[in-house]
Copies of this chain bind each other. A is one copy, B any other.
Amino acid sequence: MRFALKVSYDGTLFEGWQIQPNGRTVQGELEKAASNVFGVPVKITGSGRTDAGVHAEGQVCMFDAQTTIPAAKLRECFNRLLPADVRVLKSVCAPQSFDCTRGAKRKTYRYTAYYAESDLPLLSRYAARIGQKPNLQKMRAEAELIAGEHDFKAFCASGSSAKTSVRTVYSAEVSEKKENGYLLYTVTVCGNGFLYNMVRIIAGHLFAVGCGVKEEKSVLAAFETGKRSLLGKTMPPQGLTLAGVEYGDPLFSADGR
């Protein structure tokens, strides 16, 4: 029987999703819990990796197991064994044909940053600080150019093993919220898949354009030439959250996250 889990984690104290011989990973903690629940070693496959320090509200993963425990009860069984910074939000039965990696149709990432004079200790775990106030209109105009099917070679950290760097970004949106003493920025990017560091480079480029560090429309030359240097800096991991993964058939009820 195949099961799928929707998982949330605080990435701060993890060396990322993917299991490692040394180092605390989300996949490692989930496999440890699963092996305890089922009494045999269980391999867990994620929709994709997240880097060290990156968070998730709605990572999806799957595994095969023989059990009489009802699928919906597995959530509690896992949560009793998991450390407090990882939680299973939903557990469901999935068809044998379900592939949580290749079957992922849309992924949504959210990048959060704030502009303030000082670092703000209550934000810094889940957001990056930007030292200049960006121009929202410029950021939004540049984000519109990023949406669509493009060769995102320039948005990829070196060392990527992806076969093709063509991806479709369904939407890239920027919001600004005035809070007491600081401005909060959210860059939400939805696409059919992302290259290594792609969302952090998209966010970094939008902030660079908004702050006048990179020229408006410079993303167009980056698409043409594939040159990483035409884009802004890669943003740090703590501002990034994998908000959700969608499949052809809805795996989780609409109210779930």
* Chain A residues within CB distance 8 Å of chain B: 8-10, 55, 57, 75, 79, 84-89, 117-122, 124-126, 180-182, 241, 243-244, 255-257
A79 to B10, CA, bound (A): 26
Closest-CB distance, A33 to chain B (whole angstroms): 14
A79 to B119, CA, bound (A): 9
Closest-CB distance, A183 to chain B (whole angstroms): 11
B10, B75, B120, B181: the one contacting A125 at CB < 8 Å is B10
> Which among A89, A121, A180, A182 has the greatest number of chain B C-beta atoms within 10 A?
A121
A37 to B57, CA, bound (A): 42
How many copies of the shown chain assemble into the complex?
2
Chain B: CB-nearest residue to A9 = B121
Q: Is the CB of A84 within 8 A of B121?
A: yes
B79, B181, B257: the one contacting A257 at CB < 8 Å is B181
List 14 other contacts, CB 8 Å, given A10-B122, A122-B241, A180-B257. Answer: A9-B121, A9-B122, A55-B122, A57-B122, A57-B180, A79-B118, A86-B121, A87-B121, A89-B117, A89-B118, A89-B120, A89-B181, A180-B244, A182-B257
Chain B: CB-nearest residue to A55 = B122
B9, B89, B118: the one contacting A87 at CB < 8 Å is B118
A121 to B9, CA, bound (A): 6
Closest-CB distance, A239 to chain B (whole angstroms): 13
Q: Is the CB of A88 within 8 A of B119?
A: no
Q: Is the CB of A181 within 8 A of B255?
A: yes
Q: Is the CB of A118 within 8 A of B88?
A: yes
B84, B124, B256, B257: the one contacting A84 at CB < 8 Å is B124
| Chain B residues with CB under 8 A of A89 | 117-118, 120, 181
| Chain B residues with CB under 8 A of A10 | 121-122, 125
Can you offer 12 A-B residue contacts whose CB atoms are under 8 A? A8-B122, A9-B121, A10-B125, A55-B122, A57-B180, A57-B181, A79-B119, A87-B118, A87-B121, A122-B241, A180-B244, A180-B257
A65 to B168, CA, bound (A): 59
A134 to B126, CA, bound (A): 28
A185 to B117, CA, bound (A): 29
| Chain B residues with CB under 8 A of A75 | 118
| Chain B residues with CB under 8 A of A88 | 118
| Chain B residues with CB under 8 A of A181 | 57, 89, 255-257
